[in-house]
């Protein structure tokens, strides 16, 4: 089963994403901020990260940067999920090393579809 790490400071959003992904057959882990996500990423192997941008302690950009700079970690794809629909946020995400950008609230079918594509699960 593919493992996904959902990173978001808002419990509601975490629950929502987790629910959707679990239902689609993913194993889901969660982290409440970038720092916790980084710790988890270093200790576990994930096939995908679904990451919020605006978070306390360590925001989404910084998390991805640190993830990408960690040579020992398998560089699984990162989907950024944020309320900002502006191009600027997307570009910043890609500069940090994210692979995709979805705007909140994410449609369940979109999240499922792209999670499957990014983890290589048949559509």
User: Shortest gap between Cβ of 50 and other proteins (angstroms)?
Assistant: 14
Q: Would you tell me which residues interact with other proteins (CB under 8 A)?
A: 9-16, 18-20, 22-23, 30, 32, 54, 56, 65, 67-71, 73-78, 83, 91, 94-101, 104-105, 107-109, 113-114, 116-123
Taking the least distance from each CB to other proteins, the nearer of 3 and 121 is 121
Beta strands, E only, 2-59: 3-7, 27-31, 48-52
Contacts of 78 (CB under 8 A, 6+ apart): 48, 49, 51, 64, 67, 97, 98, 99, 100
User: Shortest gap between Cβ of 18 and other proteins (angstroms)?
Assistant: 7
């Amino acid at each position: 089963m593919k493992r996904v790490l959902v990173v978001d400071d808002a419990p509601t959003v975490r629950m929502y994403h987790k629910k959707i992904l679990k239902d689609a057959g993913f194993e889901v882990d969660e982290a409440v901020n970038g720092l916790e996500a980084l710790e988890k990423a270093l200790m576990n192997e994930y096939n995908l990260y679904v990451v919020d941008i605006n978070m306390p302690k360590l925001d989404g950009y910084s998390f991805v940067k640190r993830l990408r700079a960690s040579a020992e970690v398998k560089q699984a794809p990162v989907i950024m999920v944020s309320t900002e629909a502006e191009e600027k946020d997307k570009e910043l995400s890609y500069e940090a090393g994210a692979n995709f950008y979805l705007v909140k609230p994410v449609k369940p079918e979109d999240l499922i579809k792209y999670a499957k594509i990014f983890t290589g699960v048949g559509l």
